[in-house]
C-alpha cells in the first residue's frame, strides 16, 4: 500500500477523519471491484496529497463494527469527510477525478 494511504483501525478512525478533507475506502481483500478501486487510489495517491486529501482504507472483514456504524452493506464504499463530518457516501468503483471533485 502506498505510504500516502493509511490502513485504518477502529481506535484511530475518529482522529484520522477529524480534520481536513478525508476519503475512506471500505473494502475487503476478496472483493474484485475493491481491488480495482484500490489500484485507482494507489495510482492517484500523490494527486490526493497535493490536493490536501487524506486517504484511508478500512478492511470490512477486520473492522465489522466500523463498517456497520456507517451502514456499509456493499463494497467498495467510499466515504467523504470534511473536518470530521460525513458529507457523501459513494458506492461502487469511482474514478480519481470524480473523487477529487467531491472536495471542491
- Going along the chain from its start, the domains and CATH numbers come out as 5-101 (3.40.30.10)
Cis geometry, peptide bond prior to residue 14 (ω within 30 degrees of 0): no
Residue 67 known to be catalytic: no
Q: Model confidence at 70, in pLDDT bands (50, 70, 90)?
A: very high
Q: Model confidence at 1, in pLDDT bands (50, 70, 90)?
A: low
CA atoms within 13 A on the CB side of 21: 12
CA distance 93 to 78: 9
Q: Is residue 82 within 8 Å of 21, Cβ to Cβ?
A: yes
Residue 34 known to be catalytic: yes
Out of 31, 49, 90, 96, the active site residue is 31
Is the pLDDT at 12 greater than 80? The verdict is yes
User: pTM for this one?
Assistant: 0.95
Out of 5, 8, 34, 78, the active site residue is 34
Cα dihedral across residues 67, 96, 38, 74: positive or negative: positive
CA angle at 103 for the pair 100 and 104, rounded to the nearest 5°: 95
Q: What is the mean pLDDT of residues 30-50?
A: 95
Amino acid at each position: 500500500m502506498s505510504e500516502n494511504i493509511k490502513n485504518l483501525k477502529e481506535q484511530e478512525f475518529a482522529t484520522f477523519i477529524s480534520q481536513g478533507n478525508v476519503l475512506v475506502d471500505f473494502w475487503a481483500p476478496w472483493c474484485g471491484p475493491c481491488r480495482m478501486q484500490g489500484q485507482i487510489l494507489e495510482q492517484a495517491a500523490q494527486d490526493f496529497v497535493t490536493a490536501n486529501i487524506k486517504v484511508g482504507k478500512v478492511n470490512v472483514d477486520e473492522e465489522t463494527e466500523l463498517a456497520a456504524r456507517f451502514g456499509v452493506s456493499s463494497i467498495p464504499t467510499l466515504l467523504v469527510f470534511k473536518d470530521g463530518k460525513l458529507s457523501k457516501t459513494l458506492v461502487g468503483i469511482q474514478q480519481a477525478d470524480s473523487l477529487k471533485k467531491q472536495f471542491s
